[in-house]
Amino acid sequence: MKKKGISYFLMAAFFAACILGLAGCSQKKTAEQNSTENKIVTIEFSYPPYGYDSQKEDAFWKKYIAEFEKENPNIKVNFTVESWDNVYTKWDGYFASGDTPDIGYADGVQGVEYGVQGKALPLTDVIDALGGEEVFTKDSKAFQTNGVWYSIPNCVAAPVLAYRKDLLKAAGFSEPPKTWDELVSMSKKLTKDGVYGLGMFTGENLLTQQIMVGFMKAAGGRVLDEKGNVVVNCPENLEALKFMTDLAKVHKVVPPSAVDWKYGDDVNVLGTGKVATDIMWGGYGTLLESMFPNDYQNIGFVTMPVGPSGHSGSFTGSGGFFLFNKAEHPKEAKEFIKFMSREEISKEWCKISGNVSPFKSIANDPELMKMEWYKAVSQQSDTAVELGFDYGFVPGLDILHTQYRYSRTVGDVLLRNMTPEEALKTLHDDCIAAIEKAKKQ
């Protein structure tokens, strides 16, 4: 009997140890409860990384959150860097469970989508407190719908044309290509000895989609007309698709392995001098010095070449703060957003993150414009299109974006031997079907 007792005791002790150990893991919750007793409010901030250099970016957020907490001793900010792989899944989980953070950070169209679905709070009052919509550049219109703002613009960026000054010079060019025709003729001459004239993503992924949308814009194409009809299958879009796919398929100036580029392969290829020009996000400018200490001065940035429409075109990425509908402390969260929108912080943010400011007062700041990448992105922004391709949030079409459906059209031509006409027609039909389906839902 005694023996039995010992054995049971040992087992109970083991279980208890396990449970205690596990309970120790969830200390966070109790700490929070204590802080509410002292009337200190903790706001949760869920943020996918928008800066290119993660170490600089981390330091930036930590520094200014600490400053904010010093200015507002009753507010604590709990900052979480999310992973791009699953941030939307995670947020979907938050929405479904109803237990959300206070602040999120996403592109303008995403914020509007959440707002329209009732998942994000309107923030027009914050916009007014910051000086109204006049203080923002025109890219910022994607952050509102029908006059209601669902997120506060914080950064804007666009893919631009990066180029190797040394390779261009060696081939006898003093300036990077300015038009589509120049892009073709110059890249053809630059393609030799294992070096390709133009680097751009051609696989079925987000970046290819962004580049294609940029070409469509430069050609003067659209997805929806004023009445909301799908006009994907228009001659301008066809011209853009033909131009983009011909670069790879007919002129062969794009590396064939670009169909598999991922995880910043483009910047590596440019840095090793294996492509002479490259369509890439201007923000990489902040990384080049540390990645390629011997070559970074050879890399320049300009706006994308001008297309048949007479202007250049690119895609816009943007980022801004939004409030989850179930935010526990919206008042304090708004204070934080206002704090982070201060001029000197916004300026610092642009410099380290590789983005352009959405504030008119800083967007063309002479100090920032000294950086080549910043200048290119800032100028590019005028001719760039949002994820929603100028039409904002249309239920159904958002699914085509997350599917990278546009990039599939490029893949159809490059890898599945469809003609550009067929590929574009399929995209056109899919757009119509997606909108119809969303209406039925």
Partner 1 sequence: MKSNSGFWNKAIRLVLLMILTYVLLFPMTVALFTSLKPPGEVITATPSLLPHDFTLQNYRVLFSLREFPRYLLNSFLVSCYTALISILVSSLAAYALVWMNFTGKRTIVKAIFFTYMFPQILLVLPLFLMCYELNLIDTKMALVLTYLSFSLPFCVWMLKSFFESIPEELVEAAMLDGCTYLQCLFKVVLPVSIPAVTAVLVFSFVLGWSEYLFANTLIISDTNRTIAIGLQTLIGYYRVDYGLLTAASIVMTLPVLLFFVTVQKYFIQGLVVGSVKE
Partner 2 sequence: MAKMQLLNSSKPISNFKIRGQVLLFLLPAFTAIIFVMAYPMIKGLDISFTNRLLTYDKYSYIGFQNFLAMFSDNFFWYSLVNSIKLTFWAAAGTLLLGFALAVLLNHQFVFRDFFRGALFIPWVMPSMVTALMFRWLYNDFYGYFNYMLTKYHLIAQPVNLLADPRLAWAGVLLPIIWCNYPFVMLVFLAALQSIDKSLYEAAHIDGANRLQAFWFVTLPGLIPAFVIVIILEIIWTFASFDLVFLLTRGGPADSTLTLSLYIYKQAFEAKLLGYASALGAALFLILFFVTMMYFSFVRRTGFYEK
Closer Cβ to partner 1, 19 or 250, answer by number: 19
Judged by CB under 8 A, does residue 30 bind partner 1? no
Interaction partner, residue 72 (partner 2, partner 1, none; CB < 5-8 Å by kind): none
Judged by CB under 8 A, does residue 402 bind partner 2? yes
* DSSP symbols for 386-438: -TTTTS---TTHHHHHHTTHHHHHHHHHHTS---HHHHHHHHHHHHHHHHHHH
Judged by CB under 8 A, does residue 274 bind partner 1? yes
326's tokens: 């179930």
271 vs 279: CA distance, rounded Å: 13
Q: Which residues contact 236 (CB under 8 A, 6 or more apart)?
A: 216, 219, 220, 221, 222, 308, 309
Q: Which of 281, 321, 349, 406 binds partner 1 (CB under 8 A)?
A: 281
Q: Restricting to residues 413-432, which ones interact with partner 2 according to CB under 8 A?
A: 415-416
Q: Restricting to residues 291-310, which ones interact with partner 1 according to CB under 8 A?
A: 291-294
Q: In a 3-state reduction of DSSP, which class is residue 133?
A: helix
Upper half-sphere CA count for residue 287 (Cβ side, 13 Å): 21
Residue 156 to residues 198, 229, 283, 286, 385, Cα–Cα distance (Å):
25, 28, 10, 15, 11
Closer Cβ to partner 2, 109 or 269, answer by number: 269
Residues linked to residue 149 through DSSP beta bridges, in sequence order = 144
Whether 415 and 259 have beta carbons less than 8 Å apart is answered as: yes
Q: Which of 404, 409, 413, 423 binds partner 2 (CB under 8 A)?
A: 404
Beta-strand relationship, 384-385 and 314-315: parallel
H/E run at residue 319: strand 317-323
Whether 244 and 212 have beta carbons less than 8 Å apart is answered as: yes
Q: Restricting to residues 31-90, which ones interact with partner 1 according to CB under 8 A?
A: 46, 49, 52-55, 78-81, 83-86, 89-90
Q: Which residues contact 158 (CB under 8 A, 6 or more apart)?
A: 214, 281, 282, 314, 315, 316, 317, 356, 377, 380, 381, 384
Shortest distance in whole angstroms from residue 93 CB to partner 1: 5
| Tokens 């409030």 belong to residue | 323
Closer Cβ to partner 2, 126 or 254, answer by number: 254
Total chain residues near partner 1 (CB under 8 A): 52
Nearest to 137 by CA among 161, 155, 125, 124: 155
Closer Cβ to partner 1, 223 or 371, answer by number: 371
Q: Which residues contact 65 (CB under 8 A, 6 or more apart)?
A: 77, 79
Q: Which of 12, 14, 117, 225 binds partner 1 (CB under 8 A)?
A: 14
Shortest distance in whole angstroms from residue 94 CB to partner 1: 8
Interaction partner, residue 399 (partner 2, partner 1, none; CB < 5-8 Å by kind): partner 2
Q: How many CB atoms lie within 10 A of CB 149?
A: 26
Which x/- pattern over 240-279 shows residues binding partner 2 (rule: CB under 8 A)?
A: ---------------xxxxxx-xx-x--xx--x-x-----
Which x/- pattern over 61-90 shows residues binding partner 2 (rule: CB under 8 A)?
A: ---------------------------xx-
Of 113-121, 140-148, 178-186, 272-280, the window that binds partner 1 (rule: CB under 8 A) is: 272-280
Upper half-sphere CA count for residue 270 (Cβ side, 13 Å): 31
Shortest distance in whole angstroms from residue 194 CB to partner 2: 8
Given the rule CB under 8 A, which residues bind partner 2? 88-89, 92, 113, 117, 194, 203-205, 255-260, 262-263, 265, 268-269, 272, 274, 398-399, 402-404, 411, 415-416, 438, 441
User: Which residues contact partner 1 by CB under 8 A?
Assistant: 3-4, 7-8, 10-11, 14, 18, 21-22, 25-26, 28-29, 46, 49, 52-55, 78-81, 83-86, 89-90, 92-93, 96-97, 99, 263-264, 267-268, 271-274, 281, 283-284, 287, 290-294
